[in-house]
Structure 1
Amino acid sequence: MNAIIRAEIITIGDEILFGQITDTNTQWIGAQLTGIGIRPVRKTSVGDTKSDILDALSAASNRVEVVIVTGGLGPTKDDITKHTFCEYFGSELKINEQALSFITDFFAKRGRAMTELNRQQAALPTNAVYIPNQWGTAPGMWFEKEGVIYVSLPGVPYEMKNLMEFEILPRLKSRYHTYVIKHKSIRTIGVGESFLAEKIEAWEDALPPHIRLAYLPHFGQVKLRLTATGLDENILDQELEAQVKLVMPLIEENVFGYDNDELEAVIGSLLETNKATVGTAESCTGGLVAHQLTSVPGSSRYFEGSVVSYSNEVKQNVLGVSEETLKLYGAVSEQTAIEMAEGAKRLLGTTFAVSTTGIAGPDGGTADKPVGTVWIACATPSGTYTQLLNLKSSRKVNIEMTSSYVLNLLRKSILKTELTDKI
């Protein structure tokens, strides 16, 4: 019988809570669990404290059927996870001969001496199912208690991922007959979350109960994620595609892609399709737009170069912005943005060129041009398009938002430009 199986992911480690490392494990584990029909419902992070770990395990047991724990399995004294598991599951640590043989062989193959600390990694709670780790010395462990499965994995990402892929996911798939969970994302830009919600309110209200919608905003973009749950994967795919077709007429002008499409990759495809090239002239973004465009493999086929023109002297002497323009309108102005973009297009010999000039903050603003005032432009074969941005966030966010908006201006400019020299 199919059932909705829920999971909680618990990360252990002071280094995560202190912000010393970024937890990428949870994101990856969540995607893998969803792929086999197990629904992640909660993430909990705790430090290296026995009482906190015990509380997290106990609380999770009341919410879910599967608990995935990462971290705290190293050879040093601060890694207390195994001792805590002994207390939680009512067992004791004992050298697991299978684990010891594996660890001994692991060091022998590498010509390294095994210390007593390494040997103690083979000590496991007596009621744990030992899961060999082919990529390190910290073993995986599988427990079951009162109908809940607990899996303990090392926190090192590549070790955790390999254990999940080759050991844990196959075991979970064979244990549970789950519903299928399918996602479909629509990538939008240039419209705020609340405005987007108003546009699609009637469509959202009419969604069937087994299809849920989430709004995921990020730097000027909003990802609309549809999640469908059911028994038949093909039927769910068809239903999701049907919902996309229903909503597209409402938001088409703001949609740049689907699922894992990234804006810079979409732009790269448009440029290649049109046999076009691009360059950038950046002031307030400091080269970020160029970085994003060149992060796409194969971007050398359409990206020619960039001028980071922070000073007025570089704007004048390299890009050809006139001294009169800078005196009359200032560096942060529509006129300067236009001349920057057109200068880059001329200098680099490209089909398109974009420019950014603004006040990212936290200081430098005036009454007429407060922090967050940004002009962007895109020079094309048929003219130059501009846009004024009034941003109100931190410096980093303002820069990221500007880059996102100017890339979207480039995308729209490519789509509306008739390229007569297309081959």
Structure 2
Amino acid sequence: MTQLHAEIISIGDELTSGQRLDTNSQWISQQLGAIGIRVMYHTTVADDVDANIDVFRKAIARTDLVVTTGGLGPTADDLTRQSLAIAVGVELYRDNNALETIKALFTSRGREMPPKNVVQADFPVGSIPIHNPEGTAPGIDLSIEQAGQQRRVFCLPGVPAEMKQMWNNTVEPAIIAMNPENKRLIKHFVIKTFGMGESDMERTLPDLVARGRKPTVGITASYATITLRITTEGNSDQECEAQAAETIETIQNCLGNTIYAYHECEIQDVVASMLQARGESVAVLESGTRGLVSHNLHSVQDQHSTIDQCQLRPALPNEKTDLASVAKDFHSNNQAHYSIVVGDVRAATADDVEHLPVIIASDHGLHHHEFRFTGHSDIRIAKAAKQAINCLRLQLLSQQAD
């Protein structure tokens, strides 16, 4: 059997309105990739019968496997059961065993089941219930034939804890059984970088992001951090690692110390870990970054021993000599091994853009840096704060090399 393709459908007005972030689809995609299922589509749909029917029909027509979350509660806006039945042209039936299980769950909690909850025991004809050990919403497992092709639909509740338990207990084993000869898995390798723009990085990497290349390399940018994701497919972790090895080596050779991590994290996480490993600490005095350097460092869990003190001043010098004097005085009056000092933004001139000065002070002296204070207003300060923290990371790396 060839590789199965999947679509994940997330159902609920709270998702389409932006009131809640859809983390279920992310988690399910990761689980499917780990067992060799390629996710082709993510669909989010509101609590609307016609929209749900349309989404179900399209998903069943174009993929082998459909996984949905949400819409299995007892209220009028929980439409998954009804919509799926209409989409495949069948009626609903009431499963008495499922109904007794729901009643028993209410009894175990010292409550009588409200009459409206009986609808949670209704299922499209031809489907079977998926047991929910913790909640009143059983899932749906429906196998159908579409244009001579076998399709499978799994509907799960939107509550993450319930959904994940049902996935692990029932859904994942059922999917694996659909294609028992398939031993392939999809594995992603993450490379986190800072200090180079997205376009410059694409030019620096020789044809690595070309369409159709194997393994694939994707580039995403978030607040000046560039993430490279290498996607491989193989029969084992070792095979995937072997596929990715040459690409990772090429990226390392091209980007050098622009790379700060090989897993999902922020640059302050890496710097805090480096300081803790060395038994060292940092103090911060900032103006132009408006306290964000301090905030980022304090956001690192269980690393507060690496932070000595942090100060925000409304105005610090932005000229090199004046800021150097402030940095020297600040460092001599704290107990940290390093001090990050960020001056005020220096105004643009007719010939140049705004600049932001940064000094890393230590007992070995002062290291001066200056950055163009540019970019969209929403990310300018966030980027500048990362640049200041990155200055310390690069200094620590240079000391390791020495």
How far apart are residue 87 of structure 1 and its match? 0.8
| TM-aligned CA distance change 1:165 to 1:344, over 3 Å | farther
1:228 to 220, 225, 232: 232
Where do residues 92-171 of structure 1 align in structure 2 (5 Å cutoff)? 92-146=91-145, 147-171=150-174
One-letter code aligned to 1:377: I
How far apart are residue 115 of structure 1 and its match? 0.8
| TM-aligned CA distance change 1:301 to 1:171, over 3 Å | same
- What is residue 265 of structure 1 aligned with on the other side? 269
- With 80-89 and 234-243 compared, the bigger mean Cα shift is at 234-243
Where do residues 402-421 of structure 1 align in structure 2 (5 Å cutoff)? 402-417=384-399
Task: Check whether the contact 2:209–2:218 (CA below 8 A) recurs between aligned residues.
Answer: no
2-structure distance, mates of 1:107, 1:287: 51
| TM-aligned CA distance change 1:402 to 1:157, over 3 Å | farther
- The alignment yields a C-alpha RMSD, in angstroms, of 2.9
- What is residue 280 of structure 1 aligned with on the other side? 284
One-letter code aligned to 1:152: C
2-structure distance, mates of 1:116, 1:339: 75
Where do residues 139-218 of structure 1 align in structure 2 (5 Å cutoff)? 139-146=138-145, 147-176=150-179, 177-178=181-182, 179-202=184-207, 209-218=213-222
How far apart are residue 333 of structure 1 and its match? 5.3
TM-score, with structure 1 as normaliser: 0.84
How far apart are residue 195 of structure 1 and its match? 1.0
Task: Check whether the contact 1:373–1:388 (CA below 8 A) recurs between aligned residues.
Answer: yes
1-structure distance, mates of 2:36, 2:125: 31
| TM-aligned CA distance change 1:365 to 1:100, over 3 Å | farther
| TM-aligned CA distance change 1:340 to 1:127, over 3 Å | farther
Task: Check whether the contact 1:99–1:130 (CA below 8 A) recurs between aligned residues.
Answer: yes
1:240 to 241, 244, 249: 244
Task: Check whether the contact 1:356–1:402 (CA below 8 A) recurs between aligned residues.
Answer: no
- Ranges in structure 2 where 5+ consecutive residues have no aligned partner: none
How far apart are residue 231 of structure 1 and its match? 3.2
- What is residue 12 of structure 1 aligned with on the other side? 11
1:388 to 327, 346, 371: 371
Task: Check whether the contact 2:103–2:112 (CA below 8 A) recurs between aligned residues.
Answer: no
Q: Secondary structure at the match of 1:62?
A: helix
Q: Secondary structure at the match of 2:171?
A: helix
Misfit runs of 4+, over 4 Å: 202-205, 332-344, 364-373
Identity of aligned residues (%): 28
1-structure distance, mates of 2:327, 2:63: 55
Task: Check whether the contact 1:199–1:250 (CA below 8 A) recurs between aligned residues.
Answer: yes
Q: Secondary structure at the match of 1:171?
A: helix
How far apart are residue 211 of structure 1 and its match? 1.1
| TM-aligned CA distance change 1:149 to 1:371, over 3 Å | farther
One-letter code aligned to 1:156: V
Task: Check whether the contact 1:280–1:344 (CA below 8 A) recurs between aligned residues.
Answer: no
How far apart are residue 100 of structure 1 and its match? 1.4
**Count of residues in Structure 1 that have an aligned counterpart in Structure 2:** 395
- Ranges in structure 1 where 5+ consecutive residues have no aligned partner: 313-320, 326-331
TM-score, with structure 2 as normaliser: 0.88
How far apart are residue 203 of structure 1 and its match? 5.3
